Chain A
């Protein structure tokens, strides 16, 4: 299976900060990379699909980039509601895999 490694595993930031989360695949996955947000006690929410396509209804402060093995999720100006856990997921291989998650906390 393709291994997905996110960094950092946790991150403290302040409202208004620009934040970047990185996801690395163990082999090339082209642009088949998706990002999800999960708040405590809630179901995951799709933010970005196909590496850089913003899902409908997701605020424009979220953006995704990358291809091949290296990808990033950027939040341009953190809002209070953005503090959550973020997961990357590859859908390139038949064995779909998620990253371990990045917990974004309030500083």
Chain B
């Protein structure tokens, strides 16, 4: 069974940092692009960041560029999101998602076919 399990969310003060993790199982992790997508309370979906299978293609939404860093460890089947300089508008449920197309040179050009349950980040003083 394909599983994505996020962790690392919590309550953090504005300006502080947080690191999210996603551990996967049930598929060959190093074949697929991975993404983080967030959803603020009562709002729609917002793509945050993506990374291709070998970390050579990485991208960020303008809203997080320069503050967030995505990375992956294929040996550990894990995806991470380092979030610095957090702001109240970063408050959201953060989903780890899997790209549906294998061995792509870029993190885009694919849909997201598996989603984790999400981890909640609340940025508040």
Taking Cβ atoms with an 8 Å cutoff, the residues of A that contact B are 1, 32, 34, 36, 38, 43-46, 49-50, 55, 87, 89, 91-101
Contact = CB atoms under 8 A, between A and B. Distances in A.
Given A87-B45, A98-B47, A46 B111 contact: yes
B44 interface: yes
A94 B59 contact: yes
Nearest to B4: A43
Interface in B99-125: 100, 106-113, 115-118
A38 B107 CA distance: 23
A15 B111 CA distance: 29
Given A45-B115, A46-B111, A95-B59, 10 more contacts: A34-B111, A36-B112, A44-B95, A49-B113, A55-B100, A91-B109, A91-B110, A93-B108, A95-B61, A99-B44
A92 B47 contact: no
A34 B44 CA distance: 15
A97 to B, nearest CB: 7
Given A98-B46, A101-B44, A55 B108 contact: no
> Which DSSP category, helix, strand, loop or mixed, fits chain A's interface?
loop
A34 B37 CA distance: 15
A92 B45 contact: no
Contact of A92 (B35, B62, B108): B108
A87 to B, nearest CB: 6
Contacts of B59: 94-96
B81 to A, nearest CB: 15
A96 B47 contact: yes
Contacts of B117: 43
Contact of A46 (B46, B62, B112): B112
A43 B116 contact: yes
Contacts of B45: 36, 38, 44, 87, 89, 98, 101
B108 A94 contact: yes
